Amino acid sequence: MHVIKTSITLRWLVLLLVALPLFGCNDNDDDDDQPAQIPAQTKLYIFGDSLSDTGNLGRPASFGSDLPAPFFENRISNGRVIVEYIAQSLQTEAEASNYLDSEEEGTNYAIAGANAVTDDTVINLDLEIESYLAKNDDEVDPNNIFLFFIGGNDVIDAVSLGEADGRALLTSAAVKVSEAVDAIVSRGGTEIVVLNVPNIGKTAKFQAGPA
């Protein structure tokens, strides 16, 4: 996990380190184990892909209903995703904003299938940032937390390319994430968290090897 600091204080890093081990834990955790909550007015805004999407793709894909089993409540997952455990640890929410098909509601702009790069992609990080800024009158509340967890799909795409093209794609993806962070910071954001992409070599797709 990388934490990009502007005037970020250590408290957020500590809270996130507490939150990350909650991934995969039982939902019925003892309330006594919960860390101190963040100020009530603080919101957690999320930008990412299917690893963070809590319904932004599933809702329109299911025509406003629910995706069938094994998908869990319109997530591209059979259970909750990691940002929900982080939000739980911070005692805030990670509800889908539903910006693709309805009036925006939640603070989670992550959408399944999103890439960091924009070349030949319709669903990407730029779309998420632009949608957030349009909803918030191009303003950023410095009291809010902005979490970025994206790039896995760019890594998957890079694997199918030659070494030179693959490295170039990954460099472009890193630049796009940096630009997205800057779009928030330049408007006053101070609480920024950027998570590393997972090791896709450990996923079933790549563990299986060539067909």
pLDDT of 68 above 80: no
- Per-residue buried b or exposed e for 22-38, using 16+ beta carbons within 10 Å of the residue's own CB: beeeeeeeeeeeeeeeb
Closest by CA position to 86, among listed 128, 10, 24, 31: 24
The label of the residue with tokens 């929900």 reads 84
Partners of 108 in the β-ladder: 46, 96
pLDDT digits 0-9 by tens, 141-169:
999 999 999 999 899 889 888 889 999 99
Polymer length in residues for the chain: 211
Domains of the chain, residue spans: 10-21+41-201
pLDDT digits 0-9 by tens, 50-61:
888 888 876 655
Closest by CA position to 153, among listed 2, 3, 51: 51
pLDDT digits 0-9 by tens, 184-198:
999 999 999 999 888
Class of domain 10-21+41-201: alpha beta
pLDDT digits 0-9 by tens, 82-139:
899 999 988 888 888 887 776 668 899 999 889 999 877 678 999 999 999 999 999 9
The residues, ordered by sequence, that sit 6+ positions from 124 with a Cβ below 8 Å of its Cβ are 114, 115, 116, 117, 118, 176
